[in-house]
Amino acid sequence: MERSCDYFDEYNAMNPENKTDRAAWLQGPSAKCSKPGEVDSPWRLVLLGAPGVGKGTQASLLSERLGACHLSTGDVFRAAGGRPDCEQTPAMLAALEHMRHGELVPDSTVWEMVRERNGCLHCGGGFILDGFPRTLSQAEALRQHMANEKLALHAVVNYELPLEEIVARLSGRRTCKQCKAVFHITGQPPKKQGVCDHCGGALFQREDDRPESVQVRMEAYQKSTMPLIEFYSGLGLLMPVEATGTPEEICGRTVKALGVS
């Protein structure tokens, strides 16, 4: 049965200029994508980098620039976390508990969630994976699945930034409850403290951006995600990009590295 969700309808109504529609990704496979943009050569990218390096912001800028759909696994978990417990599967409830503590969600749960959204991997506009894969086992599952589905990954962008800067970025990050826009208390403050510039929604600090969770997330990154750099380098797909400067500068560097004019 097709599900509907007021939040996503409202979001789409507020952002009519968006070329892509993430409802099917965020809500699950029974939701319909209303804007499956078709482009001649759709980009299929993976974004890597430590938590807080700005992958989400870059994914959203690149999505506008390239027309590819922004697929974030973290956003799926956060969207699920906003729904009542009675609508959750036991696996999702367990996943949300891991997320609250800054721990990685088990590979089997993450892969099941991505696999059932296979339609999004076939999006006519292409896709930008943000926050997935995060372990070697997820990367291998994705590689095999894409090979079976005859889909090619074009590049894996690895955003690089010194550790101290990453921690400062994470602890100052604030997210809009309504439209999910991201601000920073010093780097990119909203015009009015605690209020989103775009939709007037309340800004909050993500539970996993609190200091105790940041520590756990950085450890998980070092242990589980760093090996992906070698994995994708071995496949000849790795593209390092320096993540310093404004979001627009970083995006400019990325499209240049991709060879987009």
* Cα-Cα-Cα-Cα dihedral sign, residues 243, 169, 111, 135: positive
Which one is catalytic: 78, 134, 174, 180? 134
Residue 244 CB neighbour total at 10 angstroms? 13
Outline where DSSP puts E strands in the chain. 43-48, 69-72, 126-130, 155-160, 173-176, 182-184, 203-204, 238-242
CB-nearer residue toward ligand AMP: 5 or 216: 216
Residues 24-53, one symbol each (x = binds ligand AMP by CB under 6 A, - = not), give ---------------------------x--
Pick from 11, 25, 77, 232 the residue near ligand AMP by CB under 6 A. 77
User: Which residue, among 102, 95, 33, has the nearest Cα to 70 in the 3D structure?
Assistant: 33
Which one is catalytic: 44, 117, 173, 180? 173
CB-nearer residue toward ligand AMP: 38 or 207: 207
CB of 56 to ligand AMP, least distance (A): 7
Q: Is 3 a catalytic residue?
A: no
CB-nearer residue toward ligand AMP: 166 or 241: 166
Sole window of 29-37, 59-67, 68-76, 172-180 interacting with ligand AMP (rule: CB under 6 A): 68-76
Task: Name the pairing type of β-strands 182-184 and 173-176.
Answer: antiparallel
User: Which residue, among 40, 41, 43, 46, has the nearest Cα to 235 in the 3D structure?
Assistant: 46
Q: Is 143 a catalytic residue?
A: no
Q: Which residue is nearest to ligand AMP (CB)?
A: 74
Sole window of 3-11, 67-75, 117-125, 155-163 interacting with ligand AMP (rule: CB under 6 A): 67-75
Q: Is 115 a catalytic residue?
A: no
Binding positions for ligand AMP, 96-155, rule CB under 6 A: 98-99, 102-105, 110, 131-134, 138
Binding positions for ligand AMP, 191-250, rule CB under 6 A: 208, 217
Q: Which three-class secondary structure state does DSSP give residue 108?
A: helix
118: tokens are 């296979």
Sole window of 12-20, 69-77, 159-167, 188-196 interacting with ligand AMP (rule: CB under 6 A): 69-77
Outline where DSSP puts E strands in 23-144. 43-48, 69-72, 126-130
Residue 65 near residue 260 (C-beta atoms within 8 A): yes
74 belongs to the binding site for ligand AMP (CB under 6 A): yes
Pick from 27, 73, 158, 254 the residue near ligand AMP by CB under 6 A. 73
User: Which residue, among 90, 96, 132, has the nearest Cα to 111 in the 3D structure?
Assistant: 132
* Cα-Cα-Cα-Cα dihedral sign, residues 119, 121, 127, 131: positive
CB-nearer residue toward ligand AMP: 219 or 242: 219
User: Which residue, among 171, 174, 159, has the nearest Cα to 254 in the 3D structure?
Assistant: 159
| Contact footprint for ligand AMP (CB under 6 A) | 51, 72-74, 77, 98-99, 102-105, 110, 131-134, 138, 208, 217
Annotated catalytic residues are 55, 134, 173, 206, 217
